Structure 1
Amino acid sequence: MPAQSTIGCLTAEDAFHVALEHGLISSEEAVEQAIEVRDMSRRNVNFVFIRRNGQGFVLKQGGREADLSHEAAAYEWLWAQPADNSIADRVPKLVGVLNGSRAIAVELLDAATLRIAWPTMIIHRSLLETYCSTVGTTLARLHGSSSEGLNGTSSESIHRRGMPHLPVLRPIALHLSTVTRGQALVMAAVLEADLDIALSPWLSAWRSSAVIHGDVRPDNLLVDLALLR
C-alpha cells in the first residue's frame, strides 16, 4: 500500500493507513482483512470501520484541525460529566484523535439517523412519542450544563453569548401531509416568531456558559436500530 496522505481529503486507503498507524485497528486485522471500510462521506469525509462482530468506529475528517479538536474536547467533556446529569450513554465514545490528518474517530453505534428512520417512526405513534421525549430530556440535560472546564470553547455550537434560536418547528411542519411545503414554511415561521416572543423574558437570565448543541436536525439525531426491528 502507498504511504498515507495527511494533506487534503482522505481516501478509503488513506483512512485505513491512518487508523492502523494510530492503533485503531491491529496489524492482525489488517493482514487478515478482518475489518471492512465503507465510505459514508457527505458534508464531511466519513469512513465507517466495521469488524466481523459488528463493532467498529467512524473516522471523521473535518475542514479545519481546530474544529475537530473542539469536537473531540466536547466528546471527552460529555463523558466526564457526573452520572446524575450525564447524557454519555446517548452519545458515542471518542475513540481517538488522529493528529496530522484533521480527523477523529468515534464509536460506531447500531443506529440510523432520524432522517432515515422517520418513515418507520411516523407509523408507530407510541415509538415516536417515546423517542421525542427522550430527545427532549437529553437536550434539557445538555442545555442545563455549563461549558466551564471544556477546553477550547470558542465554537458557536457549544458556547454562546445570547439565548439561542432553534428552528425546531420547521422540520416538523415540513412533514405534515395535509399542507403544501409553502404552507408548512409559513406556519413554521409564524409559530417560531411566537416562540421567540414567549422565550424572550428569559433572555436576561441566560448563562453565557450554557452548553448549546446548535445543530439539532434529523441527520444528527440517531435512532437505536433495535427499536425499529
Structure 2
Amino acid sequence: MDKPLTPAALVLGAFLAGGLGFIGHSITEAATNLKALDRTVSVKGLAEQEVMANVAIWPVRFAEVDNDLASLYNTVQQKTDKVVAFLKAQGFSDDEITLTTPAIEDRSTQGYSDPNLKYRYAARVTVSLYTHQVDKLLQARKHIGVLARDGIAIGGNEYESRSEFLFTELNRIKPAMVQQATENAREVAEKFARDSSSSLGKIKTASQGQFIITDRDSNSPHIKNVRIVSTVTYYLTD
C-alpha cells in the first residue's frame, strides 16, 4: 500500500511543476523574440551631389621640325618661352608651370628611308600647367588661338593633350552625403514597414558604399558628379 505524500513532498512537487511551467513559458517567449529578431528589411540609400573640380592639369603641347639640330633647339626654346609668357599673362605663376625636356627624334636612324621625308629632326614639347585656379584655366583655353599668330600650333585633339580635371576635397562633403544616404535609406525602410503593417526597429547592420566621382558629361569634365549608395538593414516589429 502506497504511503501518503507528506506535506513537504507536496510543496516540492508544486515548486517543480511551477518551475517547469515557467521554463516552458520562457522558452516560448525566447523563441518568439528570436523569431521577431529574424524579421528584417535591407534597403539602399542614395546621395548625389554636383561639385566643381578644384584641380586642373593642362598639358600644352606643340611640335617642331628642322634639318639642323641646333636651329631646332633654338626654335623650340623661343616657342616654349612664348607659351610660358602666354600662361603668365593669363594669371598663372611659375609654381604652376612645369617645363619638360623636349623629345627629339632623329628620323634618319629609324632604319628606313622615306623619300617624302623633308625634315630629319622632329621635336615634341610639353609645357604643363597644374593649378587650383580652374576658372582661369577654362578662360585661358579660349584664348589659346593667340599662340597660333606666333607660329605655335597647339595640339588639342590628341588624348595626351586634353585637360584633366580633379576633385580632391571629398572629405569636405563626405559627412553630409553619408547622412543624406542614411536618411534616404530610412525613408525607404519606413515605407516598407508601413506597407507590411510593421514598425521599423533599430539598425541591425549598416554598410557605407564607395564614393564614385565621374564627369557630369563629356562636354563638362570640370563639373563632377559625386555618388554614394549605403546599405542599411533594420529590424521589423509588430
The TM tier, using the shorter chain, reads under 0.3
**Higher relative contact order structure (alpha carbons within 8 Å, sequence separation ≥ 6):** 2
Higher strand share: 2
Rg comparison, structure with higher value: 2
Task: Give the TM-score of the pair, scaled to structure 1.
Answer: 0.24
Task: Give the TM-score of the pair, scaled to structure 2.
Answer: 0.23
